[in-house]
Chain A
Amino acid sequence: MQPVVRAPKEFWLGVVYLSFGVVGLWVGLGYPLGTAGRMGPGYMPSVIATILIVFGIVSLIRSVRIDGEAVGKLAPRPLLGVIGGVVFFAFFVTRIGLIPSIFALVLISACASPDFRFRWYALAGLVVFVAACCLLFVQGLGVPLPLIGPWFSF
């Protein structure tokens, strides 16, 4: 007994196209369409979104009719580590400041690697790296970020 979806990659891409297309068309139709001669802001988005819907349907049909590769396992650890680190940085950088945020981002994202071990020389390298970043970005290029944020200043 074969599974219904024989090409999972095709299937999921179809889902992506379809969802972007449907949302795009739904919202796009809310803008004034105009005519081909005088296009309103909704004209092109609606056209493109419709094409995406067609692509989505084609992909879904293909996914049950041709054989394709499996998607393969997602890597939850790298995904969480990298994205988690970025989100943490985004949320905290203006609150706790650049220095602790870089430490946190590096440590959180480093956990994503299977090769992550705690080493003193790595920590020393990190300290140098943080200092270099602060010098380059804040002193050198004037990026308006506090080195130590308001949460730590009393």
Chain B
Amino acid sequence: MDLLSNLLLGVETAFSAWNLLYCFIGVLLGTAIGVLPGLGPVATIAMLLPLTFGLPADTSLIMLAGIYYGAQYGGSTTAILVNLPGESSSVVTMLDGYQMARQGRAGVALATAAIGSFVAGTIATIVIVLFAPPLAGLALEFGPAEYFSLMVLGLIASVVLAHGSLLHAFGMIMLGLLLGFVGTDVNSGMQRYSWDIPQLGDGLDFAILAMGMFGLGEIIGNLGSSMTRDVNTMKISSLMPTREDFRRMVKPILRGTAFGSVLGILPGGGALLAAFGAYSLEKKLSRNPREFGRGAIEGVAAPESANNAGAQTSFIPMLTLGIPSNAVMALMIGAMIIQGIQPGPSVMTEQPALFWGLIVSMWLGNLMLLILNLPLVGLWVKLISVPYHFLYPCILVFCCIGVFSLNNSTFDLYVMGVFGVLGYLFRKLGAEPAPMLLAFILGPMMEEYLRRALLLSHGDPATFITNPISGVLLFAAATLIVLVLLPTVSRSRGEAFQDEA
């Protein structure tokens, strides 16, 4: 049994003392930033990246992954108790979770969210175990043309599934690609867009870009929008759902998990869309849809399972193809590159301990989260009441020291400042910076594959269409664009995201 021995290797890796400890630190931090509104996993992971340089590759990825799915758990606590999205993906949970809390059932809502997330996390882990190896096997056959088309599909899907204006999402992608050119061209060794600044010779660092755009940009945005936070939180009575509650949550949890698992694999989908879609699905299927928005337990169970499942399955394309499906995965890819691991299908064969250890650690992390979130929920409630004006100066300090320690250079700090301003401006102008980060990471790889593919075909661009896999991928990308541009779809897409806002 190949799978069994692989899983055993994973168990061995994940259960080593250091990895257990860092997994715990990861999920603990994840829950904390999930609970705190205004601090997301992208900024946190970017901030902590420099700290992981000294760690072995598997340990650092286990911790960073823990932050991401831990944040999905933490976000629901704030959503239910304070009616604020602790994490963007828990927006949907607010609708019914907060209503349940107002009816004195806060404890039950929290338990439902945690149980749903745990079940989803467990099933999603199994999905990864089952689907990642065959996908990686398929990807090993990929040549440069296939890779290029896959990345095109990834970028386009991330735009189509994200909310906001399509034009500007593409605009952000183009900006990201352009910024990705900064530095030394791999083929010719020529310096591009470096303005004779030696520090730009190696290109812009994605961690600096992410910390500026997401860290600083978000802080300025939050301060500018005078975020009010109601500190008077609900009393938590009984955590235990009744037998009736259990009966009602089973199916929504399973449906939410299935929905989230599928959407998580698609680029750009990830946790938020999964949660939203699962909620609408439950509302449509329910016999009393009027209950939704008035404290329906299904309205908590389904989106919470979906966002956790989505968060976890989004690791599949990252681990097997080396393609990030969202900004967090882009950072994980960056973390791998820093550790000297070439992301892609070879990770599974060349770094089996890392690959399987990470997967096993996810299930383990979910178990830790269940314990962290249910009995210790009182602790997290206290954390919500820490005012933002105490928090953000500390975040800034971490960002600054973190960026400095990347290259031990103060130049990077100025770069971060510039991107902070840009990030704030883009937010103000209604353009999401996430596609830009994705394009920035993918850009250099795309250029490389494009050049190689065209070199092989002697400059004939038809190679992307005549090559069957590449042709199918590009066709899928084109179909997605056409679909979104169709008037009916674009209208319902607009409505869908209107609801959520």
Contact = CB atoms under 8 A, between A and B. Distances in A.
Nearest to A25: B178
Nearest to A117: B389
Contacts of B428: 71-72, 74
B421 A83 contact: yes
Interface centre among A31, A85, A86, by most chain B C-beta atoms within 10 angstroms, is A86
A144 B414 contact: no
Contacts of B216: 82-83, 86
Given A38-B459, A49-B178, A94-B410, A113 B223 contact: yes
Given A40-B188, A52-B174, A52-B178, A75 B455 contact: no
Interface string B204-238: 00000000000010011001111000000000000
B175 A20 contact: yes
Contacts of B51: 141
A147 interface: no
B417 A90 contact: yes
Nearest to A12: B429
A74 B460 CA distance: 49
A3 interface: no
B389 A90 contact: no
Interface string A68-101: 0101101101110111011101110110001000
Given A112-B223, A145-B404, A55 B396 contact: no
Chain B facing A: main interface SS: helix
Contacts of B167: 55, 58-59, 62
Interface in A33-56: 35-42, 44-45, 48-49, 51-52, 55
Contacts of B454: 36-37, 39
A110 B395 CA distance: 11
Interface centre among B168, B455, B460, by most chain A C-beta atoms within 10 angstroms, is B168
A78 B224 contact: yes
Nearest to A91: B410
B98 interface: no
Contacts of A75: 220, 223-225
A24 B178 CA distance: 7
A17 B169 CA distance: 12
Contact of A105 (B193, B400, B430, B447): B400
B404 A143 contact: yes
Contact of A90 (B190, B410, B461): B410
Contacts of B401: 98, 133, 137, 143, 145
B424 interface: yes
A91 B404 CA distance: 12
B429 A48 contact: no
Interface string B439-478: 0000000010011001101111100000000000000000
B413 A90 contact: yes
Given A79-B220, A129-B394, A133-B397, A45 B410 contact: no
A36 B447 CA distance: 12
Contacts, number: 179
A27 B196 CA distance: 13
Contacts of A133: 397, 401
A5 interface: no
A144 B408 CA distance: 7
A146 to B, nearest CB: 12
A62 to B, nearest CB: 8
A13 B171 contact: yes
Interface string B418-431: 00110011101111
A51 B171 CA distance: 9
A148 interface: no
A40 B399 CA distance: 37
B392 A20 contact: no
B460 to A, nearest CB: 8
B459 A13 contact: no
Nearest to A130: B397
A120 interface: no
B347 to A, nearest CB: 27
Contacts of A82: 216, 219-220, 223, 392, 396, 420
A41 B167 CA distance: 27
B245 interface: no
A122 interface: yes
B185 A41 contact: yes
A78 B223 contact: yes
A78 B187 CA distance: 43
B390 A105 contact: no
B405 A79 contact: no
Nearest to A50: B174
A16 B175 CA distance: 9
Contact of A44 (B389, B450, B458): B450
A87 B460 CA distance: 49
B393 interface: yes
A12 B167 CA distance: 14
Nearest to A140: B51
Contacts of B459: 35-38
Given A58-B167, A141-B51, A37 B458 contact: yes
Interface string B186-204: 0110101100000000000
A72 B424 CA distance: 12
Contacts of A78: 219-220, 223-224
B279 interface: no
Contacts of B451: 39, 44
The 3 closest A-B pairs by CB, nearest first: A37-B459, A75-B224, A90-B413
Given A78-B224, A106-B394, 7 more contacts: A13-B168, A20-B175, A38-B459, A52-B178, A85-B396, A98-B401, A106-B397
Interface of B: 51, 54, 167-168, 170-171, 174-175, 177-178, 181, 185, 187-188, 190, 192-193, 216, 219-220, 223-226, 387-390, 392-394, 396-397, 399-401, 404-405, 408, 410, 413-414, 416-417, 420-421, 424-426, 428-431, 447, 450-451, 454-455, 457-461
